[in-house]
Amino acid sequence: MVQKSVHATSDQPKCRLSFCPGAPSLQCSDDRDDKAKIIEILKQCDINHDNVYSKEEIKNVFKSLGSRWPAFRTYLGFFHADANGDGCISDEEVDTLVKYIVGIGYTVKQG
């Protein structure tokens, strides 16, 4: 069974996100905080700072969140969030993507 939620425990070293500089470490936190922090990670992974997210940028987000299958998660994220089918996640679609990310169990906490 795949563990979707990433939790730092005394048995696990605290992870640092390596794909998006300055991104928070992975631990448990509440849902509202997770959504805000995932949006922060999205902005940090927005390579060209246009607030439109390509598949490569979303793949980097999932890598930063510790996904074992970032390409697969990216595919499913686009399936859920790319409402107009243009191959990018725009500002209007970000909330749906964030809900998907939190809904599958990814959590983030500043640390």
The model's pLDDT over 11-55, given as tens digits with 9 standing for 90+, comes to 333 333 444 544 444 444 457 788 999 999 999 999 999 999 999
39 lies in which domain range?
A: 31-103
**55 belongs to a structural domain:** yes
40 lies in some domain: yes
CATH number at residue 51: 1.10.238.10
Q: Give the count of domains, the chain.
A: 1
Q: Is residue 70 part of a domain?
A: yes
Q: Is the pLDDT of residue 84 over 60?
A: yes
Ordered DSSP codes for 88-108: SB-HHHHHHHHHHHHHTT---
Does residue 111 sit within a domain? Answer: no
| CA of residue 30 relative to chain centroid, distance | 15
State the angle between helix axes of 55-64 and 31-45 in degrees (0 to 180), rounded to the nearest 10: 130
Asked if residues 51 and 57 have their Cβ atoms less than 8 Å apart, the reply is no
